[in-house]
Amino acid sequence: TMAWVRLDLDLASGQALIEEVQNDWLRGASSARAAVVRAINSGRPNDGVWGIGPARGVKPYCEYVLKRHAHDWAEVALSAAIGFLIDEIGISQIWYHDSDTRARVKRIKWSKPPRSIYTSLPRSFCFERTSQAPGFLVSSAPKNLGRRMRRGEETFWRMDATRKLN
């Protein structure tokens, strides 16, 4: 999988929440590169790396992939998701988690994704920061978290797809 975006949809209200943006392919290339470096530094450049091939042959591929795609994969994936939501499904309001809110909603304490995925990425797509939460998420959230959302204590990003840009 090149990249993927997890979505929660509420077709009745015309809303969607972008849960997460991931790229397993680049994560795999990064892990493979680390394995390549270990093999080469250990004096074993012919050792196989993840069943792909010898370390000396895998290294150029990993370097090429990471150099070429590491900087723009998130923008490409999010752009495709937004286009799909608006053009194919007819969603008019798109929500995006804030980094800390997502961690609380998903009960994540360790191994959090890069903050930029939940800060600079939505900002670069003109999402607006808000203390308002998507209604369908508030109603399904655990009691304490739902209460925090209703009181405006959690932060989200929101894009109104019907609003015209000047």
Q: Are residues 63 and 78 in the same domain?
A: no
* Mean pLDDT of all residues in 6-16: 92
Residue 166 in domain: no
Q: Are residues 116 and 142 in the same domain?
A: yes
Residue 165 in domain: no
Give residue 134's pLDDT: 85
* Sign of the alpha-carbon dihedral angle for 69, 116, 79, 82: positive
Q: Are residues 62 and 85 in the same domain?
A: no
| Chain segment 66-75, per-residue pLDDT in tens | 787 777 888 8
For the chain, what is the mean pLDDT?
A: 80
Q: Are residues 148 and 112 in the same domain?
A: yes
Give residue 84's pLDDT: 95
Q: Are residues 10 and 89 in the same domain?
A: yes
Residue 11 in domain: yes
Number of structural domains the chain divides into: 2
Cβ neighbours of residue 47 closer than 8 Å, sequence gap 6 or more? 39, 54, 55
**Distance (Å, rounded) from C-alpha 100 to C-alpha 126?**
19
* Mean pLDDT of all residues in 55-71: 78
In this predicted model, which residue has the larger pLDDT, 109 or 127? 127
pLDDT band at residue 164 using 50, 70 and 90 as cut-offs: low
Q: Are residues 10 and 91 in the same domain?
A: yes
Residue 60 in domain: yes
Residue 126 in domain: yes
Domain with 52, as residue range(s), is 27-69
What is the four-CA torsion angle of 72, 73, 75, 78, rounded to 10 degrees? 180
Residue 150, pLDDT > 60, answer yes
Residue 142 in domain: yes
Up-side HSE of residue 30: CA atoms within 13 Å toward CB? 9
Q: Are residues 92 and 135 in the same domain?
A: yes
Q: CATH no. for residue 116? A: 3.40.630
Nearest CA to 158 out of 139, 132, 137, 136 is that of 132
Residue 78 in domain: yes
What is the share, in percent, of the chain residues with pLDDT greater than 70?
Answer: 83
Residue 39 in domain: yes
Give residue 81's pLDDT: 94
In this predicted model, which residue has the larger pLDDT, 75 or 153? 75
* Mean pLDDT of all residues in 36-47: 79
